[in-house]
Amino acid sequence: MDEDLWDVYDHQTQEEAILRKTDPNTYELIVNHMHGSGAATLDRKNLKDLFNAIGNEIGAFPEVVPTLQVDNVKMTRELFCIAQTEIGQSGRNWSHSHIRRLQRLIDQLDKHRPLGPDGKHGDRHTPTCGCEDK
């Protein structure tokens, strides 16, 4: 059930941090950097304590709702897929984190414009798929 909930990469320091949900009640915090990596397994209480400590340190977390204006969902998805393939073929050590980020964006676009097993949209219309013939 591994699901990445948060992934941040710093290009300058080449450090990456990932918060991954491994099952309904367990989380893994992974830190990768040029000198090695480490991980910690957290249950819900530990995770809540961690966020409370961070909140106390920096103040309350602002309510953030990310939005993205997309003119054409199909073309944006195709662009992300091309970028994902090019990054994957680059062989760079940072490529896996970027591929995962692009996949999360592709997954979000697929909620707006779902595809069938044949890769076609067909009649799987949603209010935000962008089709004129809904």
The residue ranges of every structural domain in the chain are: 3-58, 66-134
pTM above 0.75, yes or no: no
pLDDT one-digit tens code per residue, 92-131: 777 788 888 899 889 989 988 999 999 999 999 988 888 8
Token pair for 30? 């992974």
Q: Which are the contacts of 114, defined by CB distance < 8 A and separation ≥ 6? A: 121, 124, 126, 129
Listed in order, strand segments (DSSP E) in 2-134 are: 3-10, 15-23, 26-33, 36-43
Helices then strands (H, E): number in the chain? 3, 4
> What value does the mean pLDDT take over residues 66-82?
83
In the predicted structure, residue 11 carries a pLDDT above the cut 90: no
